[in-house]
Amino acid sequence: MTDRETPGDEPPDDLFEILLDPSPSGESDATLDLPAGFAVLDAARALDDLFRTQAGVSAVDLLVGGHRLGRSTRHQLIETRTVGAGDGATLPGHSGAYRIVVLGCAEPTCAARLLRVHVDERAMPACPNGHGSLRPVAA
Binding site for Zn ion (CB under 5 A): 105, 107, 110, 112, 127, 129, 131
How are beta strands 113-117 and 30-34 bridged, if at all? parallel
- Compare residues 28 and 90 and give the one whose CB is closer to Zn ion: 28
117: amino acid identity, one letter: V
- Compare residues 1 and 89 and give the one whose CB is closer to Zn ion: 1
CB of 54 to Zn ion, least distance (A): 19
* Cα 72 to Cα 58: distance, rounded to the nearest angstrom: 8
- Counting runs of H as helices and runs of E as strands, what totals does the chain give? 2, 6
CB of 103 to Zn ion, least distance (A): 11
CB of 112 to Zn ion, least distance (A): 4
